[in-house]
């Protein structure tokens, strides 16, 4: 959720869906196709875990996970998980992944290029958005910052929350806003769209 600046330049996962050395132009590149066979849902590195989703419209969803993300998605905290081979199930998972702040990328390589500064990030890619889902009732708490440069110095404590109640309580200290209808939150629009109505490029 909150990128560790040090991890941006150390052990960035290498892309597996491109076979040339030229940097991608994310504005013109076609979204990566849905991988054939079984792809990894979670990849563990020296400093944490990345969660991946593969929407049927192409491209990838990626979330740098904390413990609560894994718990919320019922994913193992110690074992690698694989994505579903059923496109509908995978799309449903992608919707859940979007609801905890996953961002869409053209490909893993495109994400890596943006992460290490090989290309300029877009305003949407720079944005930091955190969601807190109440245990009861509808709606969602939303906390936004223009970029990681804008987050408070002690913002990392949100990564230590073990329940949504804890996360929401801390988010409110930072001025989170409550949206009664989560489907009307601009950043969550794709999580509530009919799958057949999605465009190939989500951004």
The predicted-structure confidence for 111-131, as pLDDT tens digits, reads as follows 999 988 899 999 999 999 999
Q: How many residues appear in the chain?
A: 203
Which range is least confidently modeled, 26-35, 61-70, 173-182?
26-35
Count other C-beta atoms under 10 Å from residue 20's C-beta: 7
Count other C-beta atoms under 10 Å from residue 182's C-beta: 17
Q: How far apart are the first and last CA of the chain?
A: 19
CB of 24 closer than 8 Å to CB of 109: yes
28 is written with which tokens?
Answer: 């013109």
For the chain, which residues make up each domain, given as ranges? 5-12+31-197
Average pLDDT, the chain: 83
Measured between alpha carbons, how far is residue 64 from residues 79, 142, 179 in Å?
Answer: 16, 18, 24
pTM for the structure as a whole: 0.76
* pLDDT tens profile 57-73: 999 999 999 999 999 99
Instruction: Identify how many contiguous H helices and E strands the chain contains and give both numbers.
Output: 5, 7
Handedness of CA 13, 26, 34, 83 (dihedral sign): positive
**pLDDT for position 167:** 97
**Helix %, strand %, coil % for the chain, to 5?**
35, 15, 50
């Amino acid at each position: 959720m909150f990128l560790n600046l040090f991890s941006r330049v150390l052990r960035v996962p290498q892309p597996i869906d491109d076979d040339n050395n030229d940097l991608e132009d994310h504005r013109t590149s076609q979204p990566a196709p849905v991988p054939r066979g079984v792809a990894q849902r979670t990849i563990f590195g020296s400093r944490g875990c990345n969660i991946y989703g593969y929407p049927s419209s192409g491209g990838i969803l990626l979330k740098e996970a904390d413990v609560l993300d894994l718990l919320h998605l019922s994913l193992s905290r110690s074992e690698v998980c694989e994505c579903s081979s059923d496109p509908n199930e995978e799309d449903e998972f992608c919707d859940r992944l979007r609801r905890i702040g996953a961002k869409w990328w053209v490909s893993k390589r495109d994400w890596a290029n943006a992460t290490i500064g090989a290309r300029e990030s877009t305003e949407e890619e720079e944005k930091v958005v955190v969601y807190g889902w109440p245990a009861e009732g509808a709606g969602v708490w939303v906390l936004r910052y223009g970029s990681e440069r804008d987050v408070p110095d002690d913002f990392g404590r949100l990564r230590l929350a073990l329940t949504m109640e804890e996360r929401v309580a801390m988010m409110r200290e930072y001025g989170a806003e409550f949206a009664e209808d989560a489907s009307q939150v601009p950043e969550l629009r794709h999580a509530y769209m009919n799958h057949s109505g999605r465009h190939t490029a989500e951004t």
